[in-house]
Structure 1
Amino acid sequence: MIHALLDLELLRTFVLAAELDSFAKAAEQVNRSQSAVSLQIQRLEEMTGQPLFVKQGRGRRLTAAGEMLLGYARQLLDINHKAVTALTATHIAGKVKLGLLADFADSGLPTVLARFAAIHPQVEITIVIDRQGVLQQQLQAGKLDVITVFSSDLPAAAIPIGQLPMRWIGGETPAIAQQSPLPLLLFEAPCLFRTTGLAALDKVSHAWRPALTSANITGMWAAAKAGLGITVRTALGLPDGCKIISTGLPPLPEVHVLLQTQAAAPAPAVQRLTHILEETIAEQIKNIKGGKITRRV
């Protein structure tokens, strides 16, 4: 009969023995004798009711049950590591300076702040919400610790989170997309979304005209809701009153979602906030690609 609870210490030894392909090498890692490691594996086999290794020549190989347990053991040890890290990091103090594009501020910021403050109540957070070019300048100047970024490629020093398709976005009435020339709501240059959208229209010789130019996404969403035209963005932070326009316009590529940090070895508080940002945005991307929060016309 399999025991209801598995011993993490035994699982750690088991994973080391499997990954190092040697009980002797595993013994060195856990500061035990080889016979002690063998006894630990035997104890784990008793707990699981399954043989985990079989002899093969002078060595051993995993059984089918051992292969199955290995995957679960790695997950359990990883969860344990994350829990210990989170609990032992509550004493962290200091300051964290976060730079966000409005797309992220309007969607995942409350979740990020709540999670971070619950773990690190002593850390002071400064938030700057601005255009990407401004955030990157402040990051390079050391005025920000971590920023969110959209990019057409993957810079070597960036932390990739995922990819999202760029979308044509307008108000509640899709007829705006049928107008000729197409009224566009444009961000001030330089802007990746502006450049990509105009290139897509020019490629198919689709006539367009600038209906509005804005320096921030708040003005862009307001203009879209008012029916002034359509713009290019992702579904991240898509507000009520705005819809994805999926017909009648040229396709758009995907864009990389990244994090950039100011230091190669950031402070513990920055590392923790970066990790929470990464998890929160990754979940948003998953929901968008799964169709959970996408509105279309």
Structure 2
Amino acid sequence: MKTLDLALLRTLQTVVDHGGFAAAAVRLHKTQSAVTHQMHRLEAELGFPLFEKSGRSRRLTAQGTRLLGYARRLLALNDQTLHALAGAGEGATLRIGAPHDVADTLLPGLLAGFAKAYPQVQIQIHVGRSPFLMDDLRRGDLDMTLSTRLDPTLPGLTLRTSPTVWLCAEEFSYRRGDPLPLILADEPSIFRQLALQTLEAQPADAAVPWRISYESPTLIGIKAALRAGLGVTARSIDLLDPTLRVLGPVEGLPRLPDVAYHLYLRGDGGHPIARRLFLDLAAGGVPFGPPVDDGPAE
């Protein structure tokens, strides 16, 4: 059985990630003809074309796209193996942020994967509100963060979407047609925006009257008000627990938009291991924002 040449696969990945043969040549410190020759070698070894013409540029064929997915995983595993054997990460500290909503749902799985890949890395967890975590990331106070904010100017990866629902205390009583007492975070808050925009967008004949009954700058305060039966809030389904219940069409409340949770990397790439972890995750999904330098971790 043939053995794939990882150097050729890395060139393929670089061509795609950096937008073409010329840009890949600059990134790899090669001539453009050398990059072209490598791709011809890879096509010859595989027995099928990797690129096809699209106007004045070239794009991956269907088989090329399929190969790229495997290439990313092979290269990530190769680099991870070399880093582990070399003791990569010893003494390093990564600072990772997460919103309160997913600190005990989405975050644990990520942390387990990070710890398995780099057991010698110390991880500092910062839990807070999405907009403030994004500010910390831009200032360089964090290496990576989970966030509900969409920012295409930073390297990002959408991890999942979650339903946004109307939540209240299990014993809370709401009669259809009554003003909806809202429990909201103060600005800036994506859930506050989703709640108010959804209610204000209702047609006049189906409009739900509402009022803001409680505001808090923290999720702890919102949960306390919910459990005290002070009203209803719009929040990710991740917040649901046995003390709360979901309201919906039966009570006349409109459906809320889903919310996406993204993983962001610092704009300058931050710590080399943070870049490597981000690229490992991106190999299994569709990243957005500016490309990330895929240099080896130090």
TM-score (norm: length of structure 2): 0.65
CA distance in 2, matches of 1:112, 1:186: 28
The equivalent position to 1:261 in structure 2, one of 261, 265, 283, is: 265
Return 5+ residue gaps in structure 1 as ranges. 1-5, 42-51, 55-66, 283-297
Residues 218-276 of structure 1 show CA distances to partners (whole Å, capped at 9, x for unaligned) of: 33234334433211122235333333323111233343432333332332221244457
Query: Contact (CA 8 Å) 1:181, 1:209: kept in 2 or not?
Result: yes
Partner residue of 1:214?
216
Partner residue of 2:89?
92
Residues 14-53 of structure 1 show CA distances to partners (whole Å, capped at 9, x for unaligned) of: 9x99x9xxxx999931897x9xx96x56xxxxxxxxxx66
Query: Contact (CA 8 Å) 2:248, 2:254: kept in 1 or not?
Result: no
Partner residue of 2:105?
107
Partner residue of 1:291?
none
Q: Secondary structure of 2:152's match? A: coil
Q: Structure 1 residues 242 and 264, CA, compared in 2 at 3 Å: closer, same or farther? A: same
Please tell me the residue identity of whatever aligns with 2:195.
Answer: G
Q: Secondary structure of 1:239's match? A: coil
Q: Structure 1 residues 273 and 230, CA, compared in 2 at 3 Å: closer, same or farther? A: farther
Query: Contact (CA 8 Å) 1:112, 1:277: kept in 2 or not?
Result: no
Partner residue of 1:231?
233
Partner residue of 1:249?
253
Q: Tell me the CA shift for residue 105 of structure 1.
A: 0.8
Greater Cα radius of gyration, structure 1 or 2: 1
Query: Contact (CA 8 Å) 2:76, 2:279: kept in 1 or not?
Result: no
Matches within 5 A, 1:5-84: 6-9=1-4, 28-29=37-38, 73-84=67-78
Please tell me the residue identity of whatever aligns with 1:8.
Answer: T
Q: What is the aligned-residue RMSD (CA, Å)? A: 4.1
CA distance in 2, matches of 1:13, 1:167: 48
Return 5+ residue gaps in structure 2 as ranges. 16-32, 50-60, 287-298
CA distance in 2, matches of 1:141, 1:175: 45
The equivalent position to 1:188 in structure 2, one of 174, 179, 186, is: 186
Please tell me the residue identity of whatever aligns with 2:242.
Answer: D
Please tell me the residue identity of whatever aligns with 2:196.
Answer: L
CA distance in 1, matches of 2:70, 2:283: 19
Q: Structure 1 residues 101 and 71, CA, compared in 2 at 3 Å: closer, same or farther? A: closer
Q: Secondary structure of 1:100's match? A: strand
CA distance in 2, matches of 1:280, 1:53: 24
Q: Provide the aligned length of Structure 1 versus Structure 2.
A: 245
The equivalent position to 2:140 in structure 1, one of 142, 160, 176, is: 142
Partner residue of 2:164?
166
